Amino acid sequence: MTLEAEKLMNVPTIPAPATALPPASSEVHVRNMDQYKALYEQSINDPETFFGEQSKALSWDRDFDKVLYHVGNNFSDSPAWFVGGKLNASYNCVDRWALQTPNKVAIIYEGDDAEKGYSITYSELLVRVCQMAQLLQSKGVKVGDVVTIYLPMTPEAVISMLAVARIGAIHSCIFAGFSPGAIKDRVIDSNSHVVITCDKGYRATKVIQTKKIVDEALESCPDVKTVVVINRDPSSPFPQNPERDVIYPDAAASFKSYCAPVPVDSEHPLFLLYTSGSTGKPKGMQHCTAGYLLGALLTTRHIFGVTPDDTLFTSGDIGWITGHTYAVYGPLANGATTVIFESTPVYPTPTRYWDIVDRHKVTQFYTAPTALRLLRQYGHEIIDKYDLSSLRALGSVGEPIAEEIWEWYFNYVGRGRCTVCDTYWLTESGSHLVSSIPGVTPMKPGSAGLPFFGIKPAIVDPVSGHEITERPAEGVFAISQPWPSMARSIFNDYARYQDTYLKPYPGFFFTGDGASIDSEGYIFIGGRMDDVVNVSGHRLSTAEVESSVLDATMDGESMMTECAVVGVDDEITGQALVVFAVCEPWLKDDIASGKKIPQDISIETILIVRKEIGPFAAPRKVYLVDDLPKTRSGKILRRVLRKIVAGEEKQLGELSTLSDPSVVPALIDAVKNQK
Ligand code: PRX
């Protein structure tokens, strides 16, 4: 075990015992540690009985014949859950509450301008979902078609997702921070013929020309025949294409206020969500209807303790998995109220989150450490004047939560009363894998906690591929049993799914993360083992950024011959991207003759990445260098680059595999000179 792992495992249990903290729910779902243990054991040893029982939380159109079906060993193939069953996700999230409690608020919208917020009840939501569903059907959308949604955090984003699900189509949400190039790739890969977007987005008074961005992307997507445009500001014009565009809500208003949901098979895809992997091409992770929805429902209920009386505020965007599961499907499948927030945590003041919690009596608040790091800089005094007594659980997601941030969150936001649920999971898992359960499992700062029901963690030796069963242990974090909400495939590329998740460690599902586990079974996540970088909780593949740098042109000519992108620590965003690039000979000549200035080329490269992928992917720095550190077989040693940027030149580690060791001092000089 490394020193690092030992250090992590020695973190003491926080002084407040779990039992001293209130459970997250007045209607306690899991009462205590003994009950958690008993349920957990059953979920692992007899998943069919456990999940068969839990599945009663969903409304089914046809009962399933078998809870879990899979061929061969656990992960020789992706499993099928609730085989033979039929259901509809929008019915589960909307109709059953609209029928029981029509006037209950389903969505609280908090706009960029706090004055412009409003609420939507479950019965209103049903009407809007039904009208949008019929509008999509009228444009030819059928069961199994993919509809792309490119919308900011608005009620219409939720309505669109549920409308797509209602007619058995598959939604593919693209984060509204992505640029035209990234949208185009995802629309083409998913074979979408219909895109839902809006005229404009609003962020800290900035007006984003959303429709213009989509139009640019669609110039290279001839198969898109319909663009539904949510017209948010009827008083101001936006670019229109009369042959393709359909304006909402006008076009939806003529449809009936009810249309029946289309029941689909349990395994029918509910959505695709593109995420980054080790290679350049983003993967369309494909989630299914029943297993995913049940995972979202159960984790929201058992971990956050959400009941229909609660108001959950998840700050994560619907363009990422956190928004899907905990801003849309989890809260609505439980009949609760969800807060949809379009702005930033610091607009108009850095108390925006606390103001929302206070005004709407939020019961569960869920955000990422990157936002907490930002807010902590403003001091805790500004939080004190808000009444946060409604809060019962605090969630954190996307990256490890450092101890000082954890303490700040626990003490000043939770006021020592709320469990910090450090939820560990990923796009592929659909819902939480590991977390503390308020009032049930004791918290250990630094640890994400214990596994959720049905999650059987395994620490695998990266070299032998065998599970390490003694405790404590450190290695690759894998899962050794199928769970209902796991992604079933990569869209149109099941072979890639198998290669990425099932084949690296046969018999296990590979998460991509390293982790350690202590003698009590507490899990400490160590971070990605592949070339995925986590910038402000946004997962980016270094390969994706590298390919946009390599595609960059200046004066019509390619700029770079090769490049390497690495993730480095950043105080606010967790990690930031740094690019090392080698210029083409013509550009080197222009620099040497003074025709081009290196700083301009670096800035141009940053702008190109912003434009190609999105502003959130903008590298912090581009270093122009003569060569990259490569092994004799041509593999770039990114570790060396990371250490050099971190100023740890003395700890570069083993360099004997480098084909040309003299590149190292040259790189150190380049970094110093281009500060
Ligand atoms: O490295 C892990 C990190 O985020 C990755 C998943 O990113 P994504 O698919 O975009 O989903 C983010 C939201 C679930 C993981 O492989 N990660 C996520 N949660 C945590 C975390 N790292 C440490 N602690 C966490 N709680």
CATH of the domain at 539: 3.30.300.30
Q: Determine the Cα angle at 332 with ends 387 and 46, to 5°.
A: 110
More reliable by pLDDT, 372 or 31: 372
Summarised one tens digit per residue, pLDDT across range 303-329 is 999 999 999 999 999 999 999 999 999
Summarised one tens digit per residue, pLDDT across range 350-373 is 999 999 999 999 999 999 999 999
pLDDT (0 to 100) of residue 458: 97
Summarised one tens digit per residue, pLDDT across range 427-458 is 999 999 999 998 898 888 789 999 999 999 99
Contact 322/370 with Cβ under 8 angstroms?
no
48: number of Cβ within 10 Å:
12
ipTM: 0.99
Pick from 430, 428, 410: which is nearest to 418 by CA?
410
Q: Are residues 220 and 308 in the same domain?
A: no
The pLDDT confidence band at residue 658, using thresholds 50, 70 and 90, is: confident
Q: With respect to residue 350, please indicate whether it lies within any of the assigned structural domains.
A: yes
Question: Does residue 631 have a pLDDT over 90?
Answer: no
The pLDDT confidence band at residue 638, using thresholds 50, 70 and 90, is: confident
Closest-CA residue, ligand 1 atom 10, reads: 539
pLDDT (0 to 100) of residue 541: 86
pLDDT (0 to 100) of residue 527: 83
Spatial distance between the Cα atoms of 341 and 114, rounded to a whole number of angstroms? 10
572: number of Cβ within 10 Å:
13
Q: Are residues 24 and 169 in the same domain?
A: no
Contact 184/221 with Cβ under 8 angstroms?
yes
Site residues for ligand 1, CB cut-off 6 Å: 275, 320-322, 397-400, 422-427, 448, 511-513, 525, 527-528, 534, 539
Summarised one tens digit per residue, pLDDT across range 377-423 is 999 999 999 999 999 999 999 988 988 999 999 999 999 999 899 99
d(CA 371, ligand 1 centre) in Å: 15
Q: Are residues 553 and 569 in the same domain?
A: yes
Q: With respect to residue 179, please indicate whether it lies within any of the assigned structural domains.
A: yes
Contact 128/359 with Cβ under 8 angstroms?
no
What residue type is assigned to position 422 of the chain? D
Burial of 578 (0-12, 13-18, 19+ CB in 10 A): buried
Closest-CA residue, ligand 1 atom 18, reads: 398
262-273 average pLDDT score: 98
212-226 average pLDDT score: 97
Q: Which residues contact 635 (CB under 8 A, 6 or more apart)?
A: none
75: number of Cβ within 10 Å:
24
Q: Which residues contact 647 (CB under 8 A, 6 or more apart)?
A: none
Spatial distance between the Cα atoms of 181 and 170, rounded to a whole number of angstroms? 22
Q: With respect to residue 426, please indicate whether it lies within any of the assigned structural domains.
A: yes
The pLDDT confidence band at residue 280, using thresholds 50, 70 and 90, is: low
Q: Are residues 124 and 250 in the same domain?
A: yes
Q: Are residues 300 and 257 in the same domain?
A: no
Q: With respect to residue 493, please indicate whether it lies within any of the assigned structural domains.
A: no
Please, what is the average pLDDT of the chain? 92
Q: Are residues 305 and 406 in the same domain?
A: yes
Total length of the chain: 675
Handedness of CA 439, 444, 447, 449 (dihedral sign): negative
Q: Name the residue range of residue 61's domain.
A: 3-88+289-452+480-488+515-528
Question: Does residue 635 have a pLDDT over 70?
Answer: yes
The pLDDT confidence band at residue 27, using thresholds 50, 70 and 90, is: low
100-108 average pLDDT score: 97
Q: Where are the beta strands (DSSP E) in 472-630?
A: 473-479, 489-490, 509-517, 523-528, 532-535, 538-541, 553-554, 557-558, 560-570, 574-583, 621-624
Q: Are residues 324 and 195 in the same domain?
A: no
Q: With respect to residue 507, please indicate whether it lies within any of the assigned structural domains.
A: no
pLDDT (0 to 100) of residue 354: 98
Q: Which of 3-7, 42-46, 604-608, 649-653 has the lowest mean pLDDT?
A: 3-7
d(CA 272, ligand 1 centre) in Å: 18
598-604 average pLDDT score: 93
Q: With respect to residue 248, please indicate whether it lies within any of the assigned structural domains.
A: yes
Q: Which residues pair with 583 in a beta bridge?
A: 560
Q: Are residues 69 and 137 in the same domain?
A: no
34-38 average pLDDT score: 93
pLDDT (0 to 100) of residue 12: 33
Spatial distance between the Cα atoms of 250 and 254, rounded to a whole number of angstroms? 8
Summarised one tens digit per residue, pLDDT across range 490-533 is 999 999 999 999 999 999 999 999 999 999 999 999 888 888 89
Q: Are residues 590 and 649 in the same domain?
A: yes
Q: With respect to residue 316, please indicate whether it lies within any of the assigned structural domains.
A: yes
Closest atom of ligand 1 to 425 CA is: 14
More reliable by pLDDT, 354 or 633: 354
Share of the chain above pLDDT 70, in %: 95
Share of the chain above pLDDT 90, in %: 80
More reliable by pLDDT, 280 or 632: 632
Last-in-domain residue among 498, 528, 558:
528
Q: Are residues 522 and 539 in the same domain?
A: no
Q: Which of 513, 533, 540 to mutate to test the pocket of ligand 1 (most atoms within 8 A of CB)?
A: 513
Spatial distance between the Cα atoms of 249 and 66, rounded to a whole number of angstroms? 42
User: b or e along 307-337 (b: 16 or more beta carbons within 10 Å of the residue's beta carbon)?
Assistant: beebbbbbbbbbbbbbbbbbbbbbbbbbbbb
pLDDT (0 to 100) of residue 21: 54
Question: Does residue 200 have a pLDDT over 50?
Answer: yes
Question: Does residue 90 have a pLDDT over 90?
Answer: yes
| CA count, 13 A, side-chain hemisphere, 23 | 16
Return the CATH number at 229. 3.40.50.980
d(CA 596, ligand 1 centre) in Å: 41
Question: Does residue 6 have a pLDDT over 70?
Answer: no
What residue type is assigned to position 218 of the chain? L
> Which of the 8 DSSP states describes residue 654?
-
Q: What is the CA radius of gyration of the chain?
A: 25
Number of domains in the chain: 3
pTM: 0.91
Contact 289/87 with Cβ under 8 angstroms?
yes
Return the CATH number at 13. 3.40.50.12780
143-163 average pLDDT score: 98
Residue 163 is encoded by which pair of tokens? 């409308």
d(CA 425, ligand 1 centre) in Å: 5
Q: With respect to residue 495, please indicate whether it lies within any of the assigned structural domains.
A: no
d(CA 426, ligand 1 centre) in Å: 5
Contact 645/568 with Cβ under 8 angstroms?
yes
Contact 7/445 with Cβ under 8 angstroms?
no
Q: Which residues contact 653 (CB under 8 A, 6 or more apart)?
A: 639, 640, 643
d(CA 531, ligand 1 centre) in Å: 14
Summarised one tens digit per residue, pLDDT across range 127-145 is 999 999 999 999 999 999 9
Q: Are residues 523 and 555 in the same domain?
A: no
Q: Are residues 520 and 544 in the same domain?
A: no
